[in-house]
Amino acid sequence: MSDYQKAKILHDYLIQHAQYDITLNLPYTHSPEGVLLHGKGVCQSYAEAYQLLLNGVNIPNALEYGDDHVWNMVYLTDKYGNADWTHVDCTWDDPTNNDDFEESPRSGRERSVFFGLTNKALEGVDQHECTEKPHIATNYNLNYTYDKGGLDSRINELLQTVNNGINSDQLSFVFTPDTFEVLNKQYGEYCINERVSIEIVNDMLTQNPPVVDGITYDVELSYSPTSTNGTVTVTATPTSGKESYTYPPFTLSPADSFALTGALSVEADGVAQLINNVISFTGAGEATVVAEYDDVINVYTINVRELDTITITAETIEEEAFSGTGAERIVVASSVRTIGADAFLGCSRLLVLRFEGAAEVDSTVFMFGENEAITVLAPAGSPAADWMTGYDYRFFPID
């Protein structure tokens, strides 16, 4: 019999022969004597009793702690022959039928949800902060439910949905898996099986990234439990083993929609949207835009916020007319025909210079001094757009 089988048998023995002490005041409730001799105890009693049983069969183990809670870490070998530490919480796998705990993760029947968990699976789980960290558990193959095939339907649905999304050019989307359990309890059993499934799928996609139409994608899934069964957010970034360049973050106004050749995805939590290679903004926040151009993957991070704006409507802008102004954004309206030399020189706070028409410009218009944070927006084919090909300032075409 393997150590894994022994540890599971001892786990099952405890939760089948002991009961959580809901009174919290029995004289032996905090000692291993409680669950071993009297059949009642709290988490400390469960953990220390399990430790004694594991010691008796020479299985390495340790105690781990959270907020007012304690459980075990056990050194076991998975079915592939890999030995590692894993978390086992007998207390939270043991039911109690008392009305006070009707909505708790421990209500219901005995289970094995908390047998073989990684540190990743416990992130965000109440009372499982892992404050001591005697060891770090990373091997999800030691998870009992996964080992017995209990997560297969969840994992298959996640993988299929990711592939369907990428095939449909959805590189950032949210969905609710059909296979995730409805959380009809207050604590929702903390969605352990769902957390483990996400962890496994993320690792699978790292080891074997999806390839669609010759493009390889880096994919990351995250899980947000809800009062029903939770949502999964999928973010896919094309890599293809191609050259990738990440631009320094820059700032635009919510009014500054622009076109981007080869735009593939936008991750913005409602801040921005991508339609036909045009990026438009719906509010303030941060947006990450991924585009592929000339076999290079470009990543842009855009801070979107309201900017101090000056809009110029006069037909002529005189030389040095706005030199040194404190504006963050200058809009040159379509009514402007000519712009004098050094019109915007020394605008140290300027972040956006937007041309809405075909004003005549020369090289001196783009002399901003030491300000390198400026983004220039102008209609494609306009004099301003033509001049920008020779400068290092960011330029995006607009309609």
Convert the pLDDT of each residue in 132-182 to its tens digit: 999 999 999 999 999 999 999 999 999 999 999 988 878 888 898 888 875
Q: Is the pLDDT of residue 218 over 70?
A: yes
pLDDT at position 104, please? Answer: 47
264 and 215 belong to one structural domain: no
Q: Is the pLDDT of residue 47 over 70?
A: yes
Q: Count of domains in the chain? A: 4
357 and 323 belong to one structural domain: yes
Are the CB atoms for 383 and 358 separated by under 8 Å? yes
Are the CB atoms for 35 and 28 separated by under 8 Å? no
Q: What mean pLDDT is reported for the chain?
A: 88
What's the pLDDT band for 302 if we cut at 50, 70, 90? very high
What's the pLDDT band for 228 if we cut at 50, 70, 90? low
222 and 271 belong to one structural domain: no
What's the pLDDT band for 130 if we cut at 50, 70, 90? very high
Are the CB atoms for 361 and 340 separated by under 8 Å? no
What range defines the domain where residue 350 resides? 309-398
CA distance 320 to 177: 60
Average pLDDT score over residue span 299-316: 94
Number of Cα atoms under 13 Å in the Cβ half of residue 170: 11
pLDDT at position 188, please? Answer: 40
Residue 215: strand pairing partners: 212
Q: Is the pLDDT of residue 347 over 90?
A: no
12 and 135 belong to one structural domain: yes
Report CA-CA distances (Å) from 227 to 160, 185, 224, 292, 376: 25, 8, 10, 39, 46
The predicted model scores a pTM of 0.65
pLDDT at position 262, please? Answer: 82
In this structure, what CATH number is given to the domain that contains residue 283?
2.60.40
Q: Which of 304, 332, 354 is the last residue of a domain?
A: 304
205 and 227 belong to one structural domain: yes
Higher-pLDDT residue of 350, 103: 350
Angle between helix 192-207 and helix 152-167 axes, rounded to 10 deg? 50
Q: Which of 83, 116, 145 is the last residue of a domain?
A: 145
7 and 108 belong to one structural domain: yes
pLDDT at position 101, please? Answer: 45
111 and 42 belong to one structural domain: yes
CA distance 273 to 104: 41
318 and 346 belong to one structural domain: yes
Among 230-244, 269-283, 332-346, the minimum mean pLDDT is found in 230-244
Q: Is the pLDDT of residue 332 over 90?
A: yes
Q: Is the pLDDT of residue 184 over 50?
A: no
39 and 54 belong to one structural domain: yes
Q: Which of 186, 210, 238 is the last residue of a domain?
A: 238
43 and 132 belong to one structural domain: yes
What's the pLDDT band for 108 if we cut at 50, 70, 90? low
Q: Which tokens is 99 given?
A: 């009305």
